[in-house]
Amino acid sequence: LHVDAEVVPADVRLSDYRLLAFDMDSTLITIECIDEIADFAGRKAEVAAITEAAMRGEIADFDESLRRRTELLAGLPESTLQRVYDERLRVTPGAQTLIAAAKEASLHVLLVSGGFTFFTERLRDRLDLDFACANTLEVRDGVLTGRVLGEIVDADGKKRALERTCAAIGCEPAQAIVVGDGANDLKMMSIAGVSVAYHAKPLVRSETTHAINHCWLDAILNWFDDQLPRPAPGRGR
């Protein structure tokens, strides 16, 4: 049996914050989408090795690592993306409880990913998220070209997305809670009021205000006074 423990101030409330932001792959969901797409091309091991190295911070140029991985997807039918979504994508346990509590406390919810809009847009609609930002895979004649359209959402892109979203809802980044697991999450985590390393790489755990190594996402609620269970009237006297 493993547990997580955090020392937190006694009077901090979830409602003190304005924004809850998630990374997608291996954070809001249990898989790395690009690795699963590559599996349909017989290249999962190759792509997963690059993904793992990038998330550990061992590849300095995230943009180049993403291009290398997406090139290996060239020639796959676009329908592969739907198959990954339907057959392999699972929302991380506790995520929906955490999102519901955040919305009840009047927080907005952002999904920001170095992955792909095909998945972030569907998760945004499925989980009733307020904002989503990710990379767009190029598709021609129903086939993946192996290229990404536009500016890549890397570590700097994630930070800018967080800043834009905070500006849009009228808050400072210090009023944001950011949850992620990889090195490309660190820049947006560095400006957040609360940064949570979720089942993360050692580099990420060493740079964040909080870490969850064993529990599910809803364990985050235990850190906030307004989310703790209250004794029933007449008890505990």
- Residues taking part in catalysis: 23, 25
d(CA 215, CA 162): 25
Taking CA 198 as the corner, what is the angle to CA 52 and CA 223, rounded to the nearest 5 degrees?
170
Closest CA to 219 of 98, 67, 72: 98
Closest CA to 97 of 219, 10, 231, 230: 219
If one counts every other C-beta atom within 10 angstroms of the C-beta of residue 133, the result is 22
Helices (H), 115-201: 117-127, 155-169, 186-190
